[in-house]
Structure 1
Amino acid sequence: MSAEEKRQTLLGIFHETKDVFTLKDIEKLGSKRGVVQQTIKDVVQSLVDDDMVHQERIGASNYFWSFPGEAAAKVAGEIAKLEKRLQDRQAERAALQKQVEASRVGKEDSEERRALQQQAAQLQAAVEAQAAELAEYAGNDPDRYDNLKAGAKLSCESANRWIDNIEALRCWLKKRFDGMGDQIDSLFKENNIKEDTDYLQLQPLP
């Protein structure tokens, strides 16, 4: 007979008789049902430890009892605890999943964002370089000056288009991840991309 079978056998004695017993009484009844008498004390103690059997010391003797409804109530209580624990774990999992999704905002487009930043920086540098070159050549070579002037204008327009692209990306992210506008703005700030970036403007040239 396994340990669990012994527990169920002794618990059955309590539930069938609905009586109160001393340990000696249980040992006698249990041995008649096939439970080794020398093991009954430990089995009863395990039932007491699991709150399936009550124990009360009166005078010099210990008395034990357990009623059928108590076992059912205990099982129901354990089920309720497990269900509550499961609900808590599911809530924790949902919260964690939400954090994971929030942490991914903007990361999936990181390559595109870096490319936009790089292009904008390169174009801005080109505008500044061409503006400086214009100042140097102004009045010396009219044809070259006109070409450089046109190139500077084109570079400025290209840089401004990239600024538009960056802002379009920001708007797309806010629509894609509704309710997370502050996090998205913070993400752009962390990457040194200011909101409402001013367009590049060439200084008036002769």
Structure 2
Amino acid sequence: MKDVFQLKDLEKIAPKEKGITSMSVKEILQSLVDDAMVDSERIGTSNYFWAFPSKALHARKRKLETLETQLTEANQKKKSLQQSVEKAKVGRQDTEERSRLAKEHASLTQQREQFRAELEKYKECDPDVIEEIRQANKVAKEAANRWTDNIFAVKSWAKKKFGFEESKIDKTFGIPEDFDYID
């Protein structure tokens, strides 16, 4: 039908002609509007709905044109890629020399990996690595001595403030008898 309807008209027509309950007409109509299968326009205080066959035909034609364009582009890309493959094959025929070079390449790659693994084993003897370890040890030693200073300061404070014996503080906090600075 090439006609324009209001919601109340559709709520009367749909149950009779299509068997749709009048309660779900509004929901279905909104879904069709959202999917652009039915047009809707507010004129004054009323909403009008319509769906002309020519619109659907034009939408299908546009979709067909888009798909044809995509197909043409895809075919051109495929042809271009096939030409690239053909160009790449030139000079790459399987010859004895090519096979020999491929084997040599694989062998050299494997040998390089073995050398890297062996070099990794001896990394700890690298002078730069040893110097880094020495610097890290120096920083750790300074930090340990700083904490030792802090512990002695807290022990001294506790003795003065609370009158605790040094052996009792050591025992309570698990401080060993030979606790001292690191040389």
TM-score range, shorter chain: 0.3 to 0.5
Higher relative contact order (CA 8 A, sep 6+): 1
TM-score using structure 1 length: 0.42
